[in-house]
A and B are shown apart, each in its own frame.
Chain A
Amino acid sequence: MGGTICIIGQFISNLLKMKGLGQDETASLTSILMISIGALLTGLNVYDDIGRFAGAGSIVPITGFANSIVSPAMEFKSEGYVMGVGAKMFVIAGPVLVYGISASVIAGIIHFLLR
């Protein structure tokens, strides 16, 4: 399943390149489209069914990241747009962002010192 998601991503990427987009634009637009698909499938109550079958295959790709943000936003909408959606949206993705960004900063510092 994870492979299928990657094939779809690669297909979109190739398609955009064929349309004459540059490397940077293609990469950004592919990510945006994959995130949109992940968010849409979450909203349509489909992504959790895919996840039950696919496991890490649908968690690791960027669509899984979209799912981890959209699903709490949907779940906590009943608590309002501020304390519900706003406060809880990053309840799952938050730790990934915190430690992902922290790790990149540390890697950057090490790279700077070793240069």
Chain B
Amino acid sequence: MATKRIGKQTVKLQNPPSIIATACIVGPKEGEGPLRLYFDEIIDDELFGEKTWEKAESKLMRETFAKVLKKANKTAEDIDYIIAGDLLNQCLAANFGLRESEVPFFGVYGACSTMAESMSIGSMLVDGNFADNVVCLTSSHFCSAEKQFRFPLELGTQRPPTAQWTVTGSGGVVISNKGNGPYITHITTGKIVDMGIKDVNNMGAAMAPAAMDTIVSRFMDTGFTPEDYDLIVTGDLGAVGKEICDELTREQGYNISKVYNDCGLMIYDRQKQDTHAGGSGCGCSATVFAGFIYKKLLEGVINKVLFVATGALLSTTSSQQGESIPCIAHAVSISNTIS
């Protein structure tokens, strides 16, 4: 009998692990955004001194790993597992960026939901006494993502207003069984939700029902209400998706408007930075969480957060074959107190 499960999709951690450190590195555009003061490092060149975008993204991952270890005052030997993933085919950035880490490694793919997915698995490993310290990290890179999923960078096309801008950045956290919080208390694992949207330039609308599904499941499984949280934050729904998610959740009887925000809207100034509907990518939720939200938790400005990273699980092949976009959202509760 699984004693830690409550409801259909949620797990209540009996020994809530702490997030003892976070680190994030972002690209130049993110470094001009409203959260610039919260990031640990802003690189001034998208290539990060490398020859290809893929190598640059791998380096982002590698450097973030080094940085988060340093901030946690740990060495690679103290880490029992790395759980990491990214958007590139075969999780290129994670596999190549961390190949010299010499730490047992789980590669995960949840598209832009990867940060919450890796934190979910990582905290369950620690709670289950399978590990003392786990590093969870993800990355995305605007240029490598454009190359793989869309068009060459120099092609003179226009982006529709619903399109989002892939964040160049990498964020990581160290989850530990020792520490004084913030604690990961509950995990709600998302189901794959596909409402039939096929427009790859409107991922926010495609992902919104998945986010709603996970948020509502969380409330139903735990009995919590929106008032129990200081912040409910989705990963990268952007302006279009956020509005839809807010409305769909309200239709289910939960009004989250007062505490609801979206990492894709927080990371850029949409008007000034021409990012259309907002930011996206694994790095979006990862850097906003590791940079901004974690620091606000430490400061005590917010005490309980529902972090819901959202992912569109499409591939270039599936969209060319006319398939709709399956989506997912994973939710992690982070709290300054163990309730």
Interface residues of A (CB under 8 A from B): 42-43, 45, 47-52, 54-55, 58-59, 64, 67-68, 70-72, 74-76, 78, 92
Contacts and interface: CB of A to CB of B under 8 A. Distances in A.
B51 interface: yes
Nearest to B274: A52
B129 interface: no
B52 A67 contact: no
Given A75-B147, A92-B151, A48 B51 contact: no
B155 A51 contact: yes
A42 B154 contact: yes
A45 B143 CA distance: 14
Given A75-B147, A78-B51, A55 B158 contact: yes
A75 B153 contact: yes
Contacts of B158: 51-52, 55
A83 B19 CA distance: 44
Contacts of A50: 156
19 contacts: A43-B154, A47-B154, A47-B156, A48-B154, A48-B155, A50-B156, A51-B156, A54-B156, A55-B158, A58-B156, A64-B156, A67-B154, A70-B154, A75-B152, A76-B147, A78-B51, A78-B52, A78-B54, A92-B155
B157 A74 contact: no
Contact of B152 (A49, A52, A64, A72): A72
Contacts of B151: 71, 92
A104 to B, nearest CB: 25
A92 B152 CA distance: 9
Nearest to A91: B152
B155 A72 contact: yes
Contacts of A43: 154
A52 B158 CA distance: 5
A71 B153 contact: yes
B177 to A, nearest CB: 42
A41 B140 CA distance: 28
B92 to A, nearest CB: 13
B157 A59 contact: yes
B209 to A, nearest CB: 31
Contacts of B274: 52
Nearest to B143: A75
Contacts of B159: 52
Contacts of A92: 151-152, 155
Nearest to B51: A78
Contacts of A70: 154
A68 B154 CA distance: 9
A47 to B, nearest CB: 5
Nearest to B52: A78
Nearest to A79: B52
Q: Point out which of B53, B54, B153, B274 has the most chain A C-beta atoms below 10 A from its C-beta.
A: B153
Contacts of B53: 78
Nearest to A72: B152
B153 A67 contact: no
B164 to A, nearest CB: 15
B216 to A, nearest CB: 38
A82 to B, nearest CB: 17
